[in-house]
Structures are given as C-alpha cells and as structure tokens.
C-alpha cells in the first residue's frame, strides 16, 4: 500500500525541446532517464522531461530510436515502453518489490494491454454503467486492483486518471458513482504523493483525448471490449 509520508516533491528542469543540447553524462552509468511516472528513486534515477510537441532530434538519433517516452538508460542500455520499464525498475533497483504474486499476475495478464484502446471504444460505444469492468472486485484484501498496492496500480493509474475526466466531460458520466470500490481506489491513490506529482491538468487531458481518440474501433475491438466489460 502506498504511503504519503516523507516524500519530497521533485522540481523538474524545463522540458528539453528541439533546440536543446543533450544532457550530460551522470556518474558514467545512468545518462538519461525519461520517465512519465514516479518511482520514488529520486536519488538514483534522474528525470529529464522531453517536450513531446517539439522533441529534440538527438533523442531519436542518439538515445532511443523508436522516439517514444518514457525511456530509461541504465548500465549502458536504453530500454523503453512504460510497462516494461516498471517491471525492469522493480527487478533492478533497491526497494520493496511491487510485483504481484502468481494468481494476481494471471488476473493482471487477463486485462493487460486493453487500456491502450479503451478510450476509442468508450467514445464510440459507451452506453452506460454495465460496460465498465469492475476488476477491483476480484480481490477483497484491499482497495487496489490486486488487493494490495502493486505494479498493476502504477501501470493502470494513468489510464484511469485520463478517461475519468474524459467521460465526465464528453459523456457526462461519473464512473465513480455507484462503484464504492472504484471510489475507494481513487481515494487511496489520491493519498499517494508520487502519483499526485505526475498528474496533468484534467482540461489538458480531455482536449488531448478529444484529438487523438475520435475514430471508431475496428469490429473485432468492439466485440473484444463488449465481452470484457460484461464479465461478472
């Protein structure tokens, strides 16, 4: 379970854009760390913000060829994809492990990857509360996705944070109403200082999603989500 005590707010430097020079090498080991989520490893991982609307050419050429964020350079290797980075940091840096046990991990794998297309489906097919998955009901030993706080909450929190204001603004629908477990999850996450530091302005999130998630999903996507959302 996350705690909200003894957390020092980190003030990031200005975002690097296309006119910025590459940052210097830090201690000869970790040179660049591009992270969009908080890990609590403030003294170990240096966060370097990138202006996504005007990203520097050297990022793709010299740091991470896929040109995506976040990316992490550690032990002279650059790795990307946020879900993979979460697992990598959990396995390679000191601190309590947040990796779920096998039964919980199997449940997580059941829904892994669904979040990427969720807003597309909601925008085209949302019809009411029956379509929202109550994954939080699978475990009764805590308010989080797998009961106790884990990497699953870290992985899915940004998606839930984004489509909650989107649904409220575009569909006039509050996903927390009538869902006490989901409301409890929001309440607990709101106590997490690391999570709060990574949040974006809800208005910016809504406008961003309106621009990028307006196309209807493929038929197979619609069938997949309809089946998933109606699971008991």
DSSP helix/strand/coil, 80: strand
- Domain-wise residue ranges, the chain: 1-97, 102-229
Answer whether residue 2 shows pLDDT above 80. no
Which of 32, 76, 84 shows the shortest CA–CA distance to 58?
Answer: 32
Sorting pLDDT into bands at 50, 70 and 90, what band is 214?
low
Mean pLDDT, the chain, integer: 66
Q: What is the total residue count of the chain? A: 232
CA distance 73 to 20: 19
Rounded Cα–Cα distance for residues 135 and 145 (Å)? 7
- Measured between alpha carbons, how far is residue 150 from residues 50, 103, 157 in Å? 27, 13, 11
pLDDT of residue 153: 79
Please provide the CATH number assigned to the domain covering 1-97: 3.40.30.10
Q: What is the mean pLDDT of residues 96-110?
A: 55
- Tokens representing 9 are 């707010």
pLDDT in tens, 53-98: 788 888 888 888 998 888 888 888 988 887 788 788 888 877 667 6
Q: Mean per-residue pLDDT for 17-42? A: 44
Is pLDDT above 70 for 150?
A: yes
> Which pLDDT score, from 0 to 100, does residue 92 have?
86
CATH architecture of 102-229: Up-down Bundle (1.20)
Q: Higher-confidence residue: 5 or 68?
A: 68
Reply yes or no on whether the pLDDT at 184 is more than 70.
Answer: yes
């Amino acid at each position: 379970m996350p705690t909200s005590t003894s957390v020092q707010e980190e003030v990031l430097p200005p975002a690097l854009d296309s006119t910025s020079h590459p940052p210097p090498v830090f201690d000869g080991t970790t040179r660049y760390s591009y992270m969009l989520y908080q890990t609590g490893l403030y003294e170990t991982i240096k966060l370097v913000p990138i202006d996504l609307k005007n990203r520097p050419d050297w990022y793709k050429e010299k740091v991470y060829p896929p040109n995506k964020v976040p990316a992490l350079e550690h032990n002279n290797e650059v790795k990307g994809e946020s879900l993979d980075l979460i697992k990598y940091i959990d396995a390679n840096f000191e601190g309590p492990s947040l990796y779920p046990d096998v039964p919980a991990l199997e449940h997580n794998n059941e829904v892994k990857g669904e979040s990427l297309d969720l807003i597309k489906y909601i925008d085209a097919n949302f019809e009411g509360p029956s379509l929202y998955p109550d994954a939080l009901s699978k475990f009764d030993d805590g308010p989080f996705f797998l009961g106790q706080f884990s990497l699953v909450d870290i992985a899915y929190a940004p998606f839930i944070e984004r489509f909650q204001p989107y649904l409220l603004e575009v569909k006039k629908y509050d996903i927390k109403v009538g869902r006490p477990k989901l409301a409890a999850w929001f309440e607990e996450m709101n106590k997490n200082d690391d999570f709060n530091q990574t949040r974006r302005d809800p208005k910016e999130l809504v406008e961003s999603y309106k621009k990028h998630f307006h196309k209807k999903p493929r038929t197979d996507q619609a069938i997949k989500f309809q089946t998933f959302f109606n699971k008991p």
